[in-house]
Chains A and B, each alone.
Chain A
Amino acid sequence: MLGRTDLPNRLRVISGAKDKDCMKCGKCSASCPSYEKMDIRPHQFVSYLQRGDVDAMMNSTTVWACLCCYACIERCPRDVKPAQIIEAARLMLIRRQGDTPYVSADDIPELLDPDTPQQLLVSALRKYTK
């Protein structure tokens, strides 16, 4: 078991992102289609990792609001990869909790309609459950 102080480094490793290269230009947040739904915006998410506040990252609305559209990764001038930091926080949360506050695997069949593509079902299972 890793102690709590190791969490930021663990998150850094899982994310493969380069938070230390961030120059706080805000381009990631300006590119983000989910910006308004995030309590911690993409550029702030990078700062949270720099400060090591992993609990706040894991409990943010951001981990459920990110769509993995890769706009932030494409447009970041420093190749920081903010979405990968968000993804790592989400992974750490679902690995710890199994079911998430956002949606549980049992809820998913209820949410389907006759046109739902398998792609949606599979992506949601991958993103929201362990």
Chain B
Amino acid sequence: MVVYTYYPGCTLKTQAARLDSYARVSARALGFELEEIDQWQCCGAVYPLGTDEVAAKLACVRALMAARDSGRPLVTLCSACHHVMKRVNHDMRMDKDMRAKVNNYLEDEGPYGGETEVLHYLEVLHKHLGFAKLKEMVVNPLSGRKIGAYYGCMLLRPSAVMEFDDPENPTLFENFLKALGAEQVVFPQRNECCGGYISLRERERSAEMAAKVADSAARHGAEELITACPLCLYNVNKTSGGKLPVVYFTELLAQALGVEAEEEEAAHVG
């Protein structure tokens, strides 16, 4: 069985436990295993943009070093974790100044130079397993279900660093849905912002933005949405009141692979 080193992140241990648990049971069905890093720390949820923000990057660097030492790629699931991890890794590889500062902080833990390959779970399905193979392994095709993929911001931008997909015309999630046998619905707002952290203090604003996303998806015929981002899910579900349900992409994967019930036993925090 292929093993990947895995960084779940805080939200996947609590509100988004399903994003994690469906991913794990699906991985096993697909022939790979996610091995969680020991004692990982929170990625910080937002990438520290200031060029003088060094300490805020250490948690990611430690996870990246653990993956390097395991000799395996580092797999993420949460869009925010993936974003921060990938960008910090890019800094460590490309930004000599930042690399020196971080390695100074790390002292005897370091040095680290960005050697780890960071992969989102969807990239594992796409690049390592292949969607054709995934399709063959589907036992419950999601036939007749009209599903929109809501990419949001974090996976796609800035594309020069994220290298996830075409930032304006992404196709990765649509191809994933196709492999699961669903009818994929492409809608214009799928790479626009849900409001992100503004929903903490200005709920009306995120509601307005998330409504734009949900309306755009519904107008194009979507009856459900998938995401990899707990904050996108929260903001859109709060707005649409369940009219257009948003679920994690791993939940649909588990359904299509016929392993959904295994998760129900294993997971569910609180």
Q: Which residues of A contact B (CB under 8 A)?
A: 13-16, 33, 37, 65, 67-71, 73-74, 83-84, 87-88, 91, 102-103, 107-108, 111, 115-124, 126-128
Q: Chain A residues with Cβ under 8 A from B192's Cβ? A: 33, 69, 71
Residue B2 at the chain A interface, CB threshold 8 Å: no
Q: Which residues of B contact A (CB under 8 A)?
A: 9-11, 14-16, 42, 44-53, 56, 78, 80, 153, 156-159, 167, 192-193, 195-201, 205, 209, 229-231, 233-234, 237-238
Cα(A123)–Cα(B10), bound, Å: 12
Nearest neighbor of B49 in chain A, beta-carbon distance: A87
Indicate the member of A74, A88, A117 with the most B CB atoms within 10 Å. A117
Report the minimum CB–CB distance from B251 to chain A (whole Å): 16
Report the minimum CB–CB distance from B36 to chain A (whole Å): 17
Q: Is the interface of B mostly helix, strand, loop or mixed?
A: loop
Cα(A65)–Cα(B196), bound, Å: 11
Q: A33-B193, A69-B153 are known contacts. Are A111 and B80 too (CB-CB below 8 A)?
A: no
Ranked 10 nearest A-B pairs via Cβ: A70-B157, A69-B193, A122-B45, A117-B230, A123-B197, A123-B45, A87-B49, A16-B51, A117-B15, A124-B200
Is there an interface contact between B14 and A74, defined as CB atoms closer than 8 Å?
no
Q: Chain B residues with Cβ under 8 A from A117's Cβ? A: 11, 14-16, 230-231, 233-234
In-complex Cβ contact of A119 among B10, B153, B156, B157 (8 A):
B10
Report the minimum CB–CB distance from B19 to chain A (whole Å): 10
